[in-house]
Structure 1
Amino acid sequence: MALAVHLLSCLLGTGSWVAINGLWVELPLIVPEAPEGWDLPAHLTLLIQLANAGPLAVALLHRLRPQWLHEPGLIGGLAGLGALACLLLAFLWRARVVVGGSPRSLALLVLLFCLALVDCTSSVTFLPYMRRFPAPFLTSYFVGEGLSGLLPGLVALGQGAGAVRCVNGTQPEYLPPRFSVTLFFLFLAAMMGLCLAALIGLQQLPAARRERAKEQSQARAPVEERPMMGSVPSAGRLSWARAAAVFGLLGWANALSNAVLPAVQSYSCLPYGRAAYHLAATLAALANPLACFVGMALPSR
């Protein structure tokens, strides 16, 4: 039964970033159809940054109503919103409206913002919930978080895009993907549905309840009675200069990986065609979870 709890923890983790990771690998097929064209990745990057209002709201809740952060209803609402947004995207991603005299993908952009809000907020809500369980289940959650980038990337590789054949020896013709963008969004909706089902299982499954009760009893036990988890020396406080350097490097790395490079990827790959753009976006999504798995096997502190 503990294996079932590990599996549910992993499924919960897959819903943390599967929607946005899936969007990045599907952009090469959406860009040619959207009126925003090659500007769409820059629009998506901006929407993701605006969606960080979600974690800021959670930080405010942590000060005013900290108990709300541990409520399953908040996490279930996020997973449900993500599943609904993916389902609507499957049928509305091509919809256009005229704004300011120009066609715009208003439904696509609004739903993309909803998904970005779900994924950004999941980082500061899912983890507090998983603290109710013993530490080994948190590892399973992080494995699922890595799969949230790996699975959409593998599906996108199977989907294929940008394959070219020559017509009459000179005219290039792009071959269609093996399945449509609509089916890909339905796959993302199913993944978010599994995340919601995993949360319900973690709440209702008797084995999960026993694991939560075990963790609560250990947390209430005196320090000398708790099981030893290894000898970890207490770290001293960082100096202001070193803390500024650490956070500066962290901010610079995140700015490159989450804002600068994704926003210009469509332009950097444009001279090489849609096949290069599709492979670059897909392999970028695969790199992060693979690096996380390597880090789990070869920790470097």
Structure 2
Amino acid sequence: MALRVHLLACAFGLGSWVAVNGLWVELPLIVNALPEGWELPSYLTVLIQMANLGPLLITLMHKARPGRLNERAVILALLSVGVLSCVLLTFFWDRTSVVAGAPRSTAFFVITFFLSLVDCTSSVTFLPFMMALPATYVTTYYIGEGLSGFVPGVVALAQGVGMAKCVNATQGTGGNHTSGHDGFLQTEYLPPNFSTEVFFFFLTAMMCVSLAAFVALSRLRLPPAENPAGGSGASVGPGLDNPAAEIDGRDLKRRDEEGGRARRPPAEPNDSRYRLTFIYFLVVWVNGATNGVLPSVQTYSCMPYGNLAYHLSAALASVANPLACTVAMFFQNRSLLFLGALALLGTAFGSYNMAMAAMSPCPLLQGSVAGEVVIVVSWLLFTGTLSYVKVMVGVILRDRSHSALVWCGAAAQAGSLVGSVVMFPLVNVLTLFKAGDFCNTKCPL
């Protein structure tokens, strides 16, 4: 039973961000087919942040009518929309229409918005639903959430997304492209091993797996030893309606008035409030860095070192997330001092990555093996350390109450939003970061 629930929790978490993560890793192929070109990532960022309307509405409903939201129905609707959107994306992603006299990827934008709505809203619905399960399964859910970025990345690597080589400008396309002088190199992207449609079909399958896992979890009946509600064989779902899903002061008071044995908890001391404030600060900071700030500049920090460094940093960073979640299953340190220090360490690695992006196209150690190793390891440790912090603050808040998990998801989305909003004008308006061409950029020694 325990192994089965772990597998279901992991598969459920897989659907949290698999669609949006899949779009990001497939971008090197998508931009070559859609009219927006390399401006497409900035549009994608805006669409994802607009989709934060979903978690905002869920959080406001939870605040206004606590305990009244049918969480299971919301999650079922979200996953169903995610599956349908992936199917539509498979067939219509490259359809364009003329807007203001220019071709635009309207179908891609509309479908992407709904996929982003599903993934963003998962932050305030999927995790609180896991409140109905013992804490150990929450960590497994985080592993699945980490795999939602890792699995599409592995498939994209197998597809050969964005792999390129440096060729003489007079070669490549049958000698038709020429330059005015000898020795000029250009970047030639290699054809993928399978099409973008096949990749999107894979995303559809992953969403179907998550939907099936959620249905199975909703119908699961835990043995009394593992049931947080303490009843005999009580059902896990539906989330907010589960007796174990809302253990806060208001619920305790209601049960006390009904003659139950629960009693109102004592007033929260000030030091506890300070600790809670610090925990939510960590949530905002970590998610702002990992979901908003650093992803905006990853290409600038890695591409000057070559395609191999870029793909290794992306792939290993994706591995670091589920790996950190796995470590958190066996090594749990809830000390806020330790988590704060670990967040500072991760921020230091992120600062190095940001500095290399700012120095692009000529970052430190550019053109050397040492530079490639350092940037890949820095991205690996940046993602791994902050992922561990993210998991542990989720576990801490899970033990506190269902409301704490809802606000945890809201804080995570707020941090991601702030990070993206700050970086968008810096990257796309002020153009403070310069792209590096590994084949032709010559940096001074």
1:246–1:212 CA distance, 2 compared to 1 (3 A)? closer
In the other structure, the counterpart of 1:217 is 230
In the other structure, the counterpart of 1:228 is none
Structure 1 distance, partners of 2:166, 2:141, is 47
Q: Does 1:117 align with 2:110?
A: no
Secondary structure in 2 matching 1:98: strand
In the other structure, the counterpart of 1:56 is 56
1:63–1:235 CA distance, 2 compared to 1 (3 A)? closer
In the other structure, the counterpart of 1:237 is 272
Structure 2 distance, partners of 1:297, 1:4, is 19
Structure 1 distance, partners of 2:166, 2:35, is 27
1:203–1:239 CA distance, 2 compared to 1 (3 A)? closer
Higher relative contact order (CA 8 A, sep 6+): 1
How is 1:53-202 mapped onto 2 (pairs within 5 angstroms)?
53-164=53-164, 170-172=170-172, 173-202=188-217
Deviation at 1:193? 0.8
Greater shift after overlay, 264-273 or 6-15?
A: 264-273
In the other structure, the counterpart of 2:360 is none
1:107–1:255 CA distance, 2 compared to 1 (3 A)? same
Q: Does 1:7 align with 2:7?
A: yes
Max Rg structure = 2
Residue deviations 1:184-228 (CA, integer Å, cap 9, x gap): 1111111111111111112234xx35469932226599689xxxx
Aligned-pair identity in percent equals 53
Structure 1 distance, partners of 2:170, 2:126, is 53
Q: Does 1:19 align with 2:32?
A: no
In the other structure, the counterpart of 1:38 is 38
Residue deviations 1:127-182 (CA, integer Å, cap 9, x gap): 22111122222222222112111211111111112344677895244321111111
Structure 2 distance, partners of 1:257, 1:117, is 19
Structure 2 distance, partners of 1:130, 1:243, is 23
Secondary structure in 2 matching 1:217: coil
AA in 1 matched with 2:322: P
Where in structure 1 are there 5+ consecutive unaligned residues? 225-233
Deviation at 1:107? 0.9
1:170–1:179 CA distance, 2 compared to 1 (3 A)? same
Secondary structure in 1 matching 2:228: helix
Deviation at 1:87? 1.0
Structure 2 distance, partners of 1:211, 1:6, is 17
Secondary structure in 1 matching 2:38: helix
Number of matched residues? 288
Scaled by the length of structure 2, the TM-score of the pair is 0.57
Deviation at 1:91? 1.1
1:266–1:277: 8 Å Cα contact kept in structure 2?
Answer: yes
Q: Does 1:262 align with 2:295?
A: yes
Where in structure 2 are there 5+ consecutive unaligned residues? 173-187, 232-243, 245-254, 264-268, 336-445
1:110–1:72 CA distance, 2 compared to 1 (3 A)? same
1:171–1:253 CA distance, 2 compared to 1 (3 A)? farther
Secondary structure in 2 matching 1:176: coil
RMSD after superposition: 3.3
